[in-house]
Amino acid sequence: MLKALMPIVVYAIGILLKKDSFKKSTIFNMVAISVGVAIAVYGESKFDAQYCCDDLIMASRDDGAKCSEI
């Protein structure tokens, strides 16, 4: 998440130091990308890795038992 926000920080510093000019389209593009990354990070935080690993282990068993059957 922090990596996705770095372009916004660098752009803001560039504007503050008068090295770059403010453009609405540029800031909109960077904010849209950051919002997308934030949504993806939120989705990953809700991902249940233990359940996924349990399913992979059960699928590798010879009898083919599902996690819900045990």
Would you state the torsion angle of the CA atoms of residues 22, 26, 28, 33, taken in this order, to the nearest 10 degrees? -140
**Distance in angstroms (rounded) separating the CA atoms of residues 49 and 25:** 38
Q: pLDDT tens-digit profile of 10-68?
A: 888 999 999 989 899 988 998 888 888 878 777 766 666 666 676 667 666 655 555 55
pLDDT score of 15: 92
d(C-alpha 70, C-alpha 65), whole Å: 7
Question: What pLDDT, on a 0 to 100 scale, did the predictor assign at position 14?
Answer: 92
CB within 8 Å of 38: residues ≥ 6 apart: 1, 4
- The residue extents of the domains of the chain are 2-69
Residues 31/9, Cβ–Cβ less than 8 Å:
no
Q: Which pLDDT belongs to residue 17? A: 95
Does this model's pTM top 0.85? My answer is: no
Q: Quote the tokens at residue 41.
A: 């990070």
